[in-house]
Each structure stands twice: as structure tokens, then as C-alpha cells.
Amino acid sequence: MNQQAWYPIINYDLCTGCADCVMECPTEALVMSGCRPVLIQPDACGYCAICEAVCPEEAIALPYRVVVESRS
Ligand code: SF4
Ligand code: SF4
């Protein structure tokens, strides 16, 4: 199994670079690289979903949410 698949996925086609996700991430797993957020410390990610919740563009998805919603 690809463990990377269980980290937040950022859709850069939707991302506007507002940095809200980076500012709200409680573990500093996300940082801005230029105008893009990057999951620079995947092992630090607590999978709390705050980044997904605060993104105004719905550009972040946590894979478990995708699975749950696809079955509803
Ligand atoms: S799921 Fe939580 S810990 Fe992981 S990158 Fe998003 S805000 Fe940070
Ligand atoms: S909150 Fe959303 S739009 Fe803003 S930088 Fe993060 S992923 Fe991009």
C-alpha cells in the first residue's frame, strides 16, 4: 500500500496560494514554497483535517473523505 496516499492531497489547479492551510496547520507539516503549500513534513501530519476545512477553494482533500463521500 502506498502510505503517501493517506496524506492530504493538494489540487494546485484550485489553490490560490492564500496560505490559510499553512497558517492553521497545528504541526507545521505544511509550509509555503513560493506561492504553493507543500506537505514538507508528512510524518508530522496528524491527519486532523484542519487544512481541508479552512481551505476556501476546496483545494485540499484527505483521502478517507473521498472514500466516504463516494459511497454516499
Ligand atoms: S491534516 Fe492537519 S496536520 Fe496534516 S497537514 Fe493538514 S492541518 Fe496539518
Ligand atoms: S488554503 Fe487552499 S487555496 Fe489557500 S494555500 Fe492552502 S490549498 Fe491553497
Per-residue pLDDT of the chain (72 residues; tens, 9 = 90+): 444 457 999 999 999 999 999 999 999 999 999 999 999 999 999 999 999 999 999 999 998 755 566 665
Given the C-alpha cell 492530504, which residue does it identify?
8
* 2 within domain boundaries: no
Minimum CA distance residue for ligand 2 atom 6: 21
* 19 within domain boundaries: yes
pTM here is 0.85
Cβ 31 under 6 angstroms from ligand 1: no
Query: 60: closest CA among 24, 43, 72?
Result: 24
Task: Please give the pLDDT value at position 4.
Answer: 45
Task: Please give the pLDDT value at position 72.
Answer: 59
Q: What CATH code is carried by the domain that includes residue 54? A: 3.30.70.20
Task: Please give the pLDDT value at position 3.
Answer: 45
* 3 within domain boundaries: no
* 13 within domain boundaries: yes
* 36 within domain boundaries: yes
Minimum CA distance residue for ligand 2 atom 3: 15
Number of domains in the chain: 1
Rounded to whole angstroms, the Cα distance separating 36 from 68 reads 27
Rounded to whole angstroms, the Cα distance separating 32 from 22 reads 7
Task: Please give the pLDDT value at position 64.
Answer: 74
Given the C-alpha cell 485540499, which residue does it identify?
60
* 1 within domain boundaries: no
Task: Please give the pLDDT value at position 6.
Answer: 79
Structural domain of 43: 9-70
Instruction: State the closest ligand 2 atom to the C-alpha of 16, by its place in the atom list counted from 1.
Output: 3
DSSP 43: G
Polymer length of the chain: 72
